[in-house]
Amino acid sequence: AQSVTQLGSHVSVSEGALVLLRCNYSSSVPPYLFWYVQYPNQGLQLLLKYTTGATLVKGINGFEAEFKKSETSFHLTKPSAHMSDAAEYFCAVTPSYNQGGKLIFGQGTELSVKP
Amino acid sequence: DAGVTQSPTHLIKTRGQHVTLRCSPISGHKSVSWYQQVLGQGPQFIFQYYEKEERGRGNFPDRFSARQFPNYSSELNVNALLLGDSALYLCASSQTSFENIQYFGAGTRLSVL
């Protein structure tokens, strides 16, 4: 069965520093991969998604992620962290093409940004 | 346009009680999915409904049930509440059952005492 692992439950960076949040998926290549962000007391907001084509995906708020099949990874990056980026980030996949309504999430990474 | 709305925002119940959570999808969306997010963990899939039919079920006991109405809104019901059911319950909607982009509501926080 498909699963998602996010390395590091807490990541702390300084404002202006590179943000790198790690995500690995298991078994076969999932059809779709996502990153969602969750601010305190709010639902999840889609940052970006990968379906097919270019492996480097650009999302909102300056985030991007690269799909690397050989490494079974879909890491999220942002060149320069901003205080407003502090939130919980979730990597997710769909298990198959006809199960778009079912997302499998990682356990999440809490990002802290120090001034 | 209104996003996905969930009610109530917060709920406190005692063990053994029953609870009903409600979700209204984005206008024009026909698919609704429910997730449970326990504190400190990622959301876990509970159900998906599309056109009033169940299209997917996660690994949850039969105490959990759901339904979808003709206007595509949905209810999640949990019977015989346990302390472990305390969580944030998220509803997400999408245009179709296979649409891969889901839009989430702010959730209902359920506390079971």
User: Least CB-CB distance to B48: which of A4, A41, A102?
Assistant: A102
Contact B102 A90 (CB under 8 A): no
Asked if B103 and A46 come within 8 Å (Cβ–Cβ), the reply is yes
What letter does residue A76 receive in the DSSP assignment? Answer: E
Partners of A107 on chain B (C-beta within 8 Å) are 40-42
- Do A100 and B90 lie within an 8 Å CB cutoff? no
User: What is the arithmetic mean of pLDDT over B71-80?
Assistant: 97
> Chain B residues with CB inside 8 Å of A92's CB?
42
Answer whether residue B98 shows pLDDT above 70: no
pLDDT at A98: 67
Which of A91, A89, A5, A97 has its CA nearest to residue A51?
Answer: A97
The reply to whether residue A101 touches residue B58, judged by beta carbons under 8 angstroms, is no
Q: Among A51, A60, A49, which Cα is nearest to A87's?
A: A60
- Is residue B79 within 8 Å of B61, Cβ to Cβ? no
Taking CB atoms and an 8 Å limit, are B42 and A105 in contact across chains?
A: yes
Minimum CA–CA partner of A98 in chain B: B98
pLDDT of residue A51: 84
Distance CA(A87)–CA(A110), nearest Å, equals 6
Among chain B residues, CA nearest to A42: B106
* pLDDT (0 to 100) of residue B99: 63
Asked if B101 and A49 count as a contact pair (C-beta separation under 8 A), the reply is: yes
Q: For every one of its 115 residues, what pLDDT tens digit does chain A have, with 9 covering 90 and above?
A: 788 999 999 999 999 999 999 999 986 777 789 999 999 888 899 999 998 778 899 999 999 999 998 888 999 999 999 999 999 999 999 877 666 678 999 999 999 999 9
* CA proximity to A108, closest of B92, B16, B42, B18: B42
pLDDT at position B101 over 90: no
Q: Which residues of B touch A60 (CB under 8 A)?
A: none
pLDDT score at B97: 67
- Please list every residue in chain B whose beta carbon sits closer than 8 Å to the beta carbon of residue A104: 45
pLDDT reported for residue B1: 62
Q: What is the mean pLDDT of residues B35-62?
A: 93
Per-residue confidence (pLDDT) for residue A100, from 0 to 100? 66
Q: Which residue of A has its CA nearest to B56?
A: A102
Q: Measured between alpha carbons, how far is residue B29 from residues B74, B76, B95 in Å?
A: 12, 18, 4
Closest to A18 in 3D by CA, of A66, A68, A82? A82
| Mean pLDDT computed over B18-31 | 95
